[in-house]
Each structure stands twice: as C-alpha cells, then as structure tokens.
C-alpha cells in the first residue's frame, strides 16, 4: 500500500510502498479516508533536534485521521466493520497508577501513533479498539479527521468554566481557533484572540470571536473598553508557546484568573511569578485529550451546532503531500487535510 513515511534519518518524506498492516486480536483495521497535518508532522519532516531524538526511521507518519473499519481482530467486541472511526493518537500502558485510576490522559508511559509507532498517513492503518472513537452521528470525514486536535482544543477550552466569562486566547492557529469557538459556544461573554498573522486573525473573525487583536499593533489594555471590561480577563488559553504571549496573558488576567496552557515552548523562559502569586492566578498544563470524556464532549458539541469546518482551509490529495506540507508550514492557513481515497488510480 501507499504510505507517507520518513524512510531515512534526515529531512524530507517519501510517498512509498509499505506492507499493508494486519490487525491483532484486539485491533481494528481502517481504510484511511482523511488525515490532518499537525505541527508534529512538520517537525518530523524537517528532522529538527526533537525529531532526531524522538523518531526512529523508517516510520509512517500521521496521528490525525479518520477511516472506515474494514477488518476487526478476533477479540474486538464493540467496533464493527463499516463504522466511521476517528483515532485517539496516544497509546497508554494501562498498568500505571493513573491508567488504573481511569486517568489515562496522565499515563506516564504514553507513546504516540505516527511518532513512536507507525501512523495513519497511509491507505490502511491499524489501532487498538480501545483507541477508536466510533461516530454514531453523521460527521464529515474532514472534520472526523481532526478530532485529535479538536480534542486538544476542547480539553483546553473546558478546563475552567467559561459561561459568562471574558476569555483570552493567545495564538490563532487551528487549535486556538477551535478553542475560541468552543468557548463562545459554551457561553463566554467575550472571546478575544491574539496573534500577529493577519490571515489567521481574519480566520478568527470568520469563526465568530468577539475581537481579533494584532498584538504587534495593539496592546491588550487598549481593548478593555471595547469589550466592556475593567479588570482583565477571567479565563486564559495560551496556545502559542510564545514567552511574550504568556507574559501578556498573566499581565492581563483579573485577580483569581485561570489559565490553561497548551502551547509548548521551545525553551525555558522567565515569567512574572510575583504577579501569579499576588493575583492568585491558576496555571494548568494541558496535554492531549481526556480519554474519553473529551471525545464525548466533542461529539456532543458538534451535535449541538458547533461548526469547526471553517478552521479547515486547505485540502489536498495525498499525492500532493509536498504542497500540502508547504502550505501548513507557511502559516497562512488553518487546518490542512490530506485525502487518501482514490490512491489506486
């Protein structure tokens, strides 16, 4: 079958032929329909320092995906052939303290599909039945393919109550935009998004945020009046990983404000800890999705009318992967989707 893989240690990817996987007793096999390109995939493509120490070549990439179940293992009991499935990309050990307590998202031994084991940038993929989310209501395959990053957004956005609150989202990438949309859908009074990319700020306006702020031109205190605020934001969602963004967020939180951090900094940096203490700010790190409460919330939000489709701005056939990766890397986009159907032509 065709698969997009890191065939050797070094920059670049190759659409190549690899053996078609077969499911084990507790696994399912998918005919992959759509995949999403993630920042992690860009790191592996460029073979930066993180990728070099984390990924072993050869490796099939891809951890954002949706597909149709075509085969099930002998011990599979819930998932059926023909189901439309999205995949949870984190594989947990099942035996550590947190796994045994039902807190699988906190597993200390987590490994990643498409990073540590072969992923779903391929015509077919296998995954444990326990990592499959079966869609029981109609959902577009493009949207189903981005349930993994959508889950990051939902996990972040619902970490603290947002009903009636003023919410600040720093970083208008796809996950930040989805988090902003979730917060607005969940009843936030105001949702403000900051970035320095005009394209992504325009996209933020299209998904319905109350204010999209170019922080290279406007400081956050300047928008308080426009939002009817006087003391600062109640809830912050830091999605960019930029030191300046977190510093600005802390400076503009109200006393008792709560901050959920998903953005991953590339290096250590200083923040004003005295402000955190004196303003009694709560900082919470977010990684992945709660399994599977977040997944349930995602499906319910979509059934309740939340529309995240505008976040998907570009679609390519898998044979156009080079152009797709260049688009994702260029930053003038939302989510980029690869279509894996029709590869036999």
- The verdict on whether residue 31 carries a ligand-binding annotation is no
Is 103 annotated to bind a ligand? Reply is: no
How many CB atoms are closer than 10 A to CB 75? 10
> Is 171 annotated in some ligand binding site?
no
Q: Give the CA distances from residue 108 to residues 16, 105, 151, in Å, rounded to whole numbers and listed in that order.
A: 33, 9, 19
- Residue 225 backbone zone (phi > 0: left; psi -120 to 50: alpha; other: beta): alpha
Question: Is 43 among the catalytic positions?
Answer: yes
- The whole-angstrom separation of Cα 66 and Cα 64 is 7
**307 appears as a binding residue in the annotation:** no
Q: Is 82 a known ligand-binding residue?
A: no
264 assigned ligand-binding residue:
yes
318 is in an annotated binding site: no
User: Of 40, 110, 156, 170, which is the active-site residue?
Assistant: 40
Q: Which helix (H) or strand (E) holds 192?
A: strand 190-195
Contact 14/328 with Cβ under 8 angstroms?
A: no
Residue 250 in marked binding region:
no
Does residue 105 have a known ligand-binding role? no
The verdict on whether residue 64 carries a ligand-binding annotation is: yes
Catalytic annotation, pick one of 43, 116, 135, 314: 43
Alpha-carbon torsion angle 21, 27, 33, 35, nearest 10: -90
Q: Would the annotation count 195 as a binding residue?
A: yes
Which residues make Cβ contacts (< 8 Å) with residue 138, sequence separation at least 6?
Answer: none
Task: Write out the binding residues for Zn(2+).
Answer: 38, 63-64, 93, 96, 99, 107
Task: Write out the binding residues for NAD(+).
Answer: 175, 195, 200, 262-264, 286-287
Task: Write out the binding residues.
Answer: 38, 63-64, 93, 96, 99, 107, 175, 195, 200, 262-264, 286-287
**Catalytic residues, which ones?**
40, 43
């Amino acid at each position: 079958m065709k698969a997009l893989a890191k065939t050797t240690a070094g920059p670049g990817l190759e659409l190549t032929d690899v053996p078609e996987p077969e499911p084990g007793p507790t696994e399912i096999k998918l005919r992959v329909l759509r995949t999403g390109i993630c920042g992690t995939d860009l790191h592996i493509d460029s073979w930066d320092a993180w990728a070099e120490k984390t990924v072993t070549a050869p490796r099939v990439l891809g951890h954002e995906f949706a597909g149709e179940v075509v085969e099930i293992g002998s011990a599979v009991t819930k998932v059926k052939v023909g189901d439309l499935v999205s995949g949870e990309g984190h594989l947990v050990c099942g035996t550590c303290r947190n796994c045994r307590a039902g807190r699988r998202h906190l597993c200390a031994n987590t490994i990643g599909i498409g990073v540590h084991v072969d992923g779903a940038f391929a015509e077919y993929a296998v995954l444990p039945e326990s990592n499959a989310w079966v869609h029981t209501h109609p959902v577009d395959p493009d949207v189903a393919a981005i349930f993994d990053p959508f889950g990051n957004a939902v996990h972040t956005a619902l970490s603290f109550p947002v009903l009636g609150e003023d919410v600040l989202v720093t970083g208008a990438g796809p996950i930040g935009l989805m988090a902003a949309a979730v917060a607005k859908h969940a009843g936030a009074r105001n949702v403000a998004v900051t970035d320095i990319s005009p394209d992504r700020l325009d996209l933020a306006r299209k998904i319905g945020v109350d204010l999209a702020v170019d922080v290279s031109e406007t400081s956050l205190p300047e928008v308080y009046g426009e939002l009817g605020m006087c003391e600062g934001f109640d809830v912050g969602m830091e999605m960019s990983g930029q030191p300046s963004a977190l510093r600005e967020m802390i400076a503009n939180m109200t006393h008792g404000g709560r901050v959920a951090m998903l953005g991953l900094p590339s290096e250590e940096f200083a923040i004003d800890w005295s402000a955190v203490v004196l303003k009694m700010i709560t900082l919470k790190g977010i990684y992945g999705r709660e399994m599977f409460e977040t997944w349930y919330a995602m499906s319910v939000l979509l059934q309740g009318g939340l529309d995240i489709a505008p976040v998907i701005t570009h679609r390519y056939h898998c044979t156009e992967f080079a152009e797709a990766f260049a688009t994702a890397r260029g930053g003038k986009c939302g989510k980029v989707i690869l279509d894996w159907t029709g590869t036999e032509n």
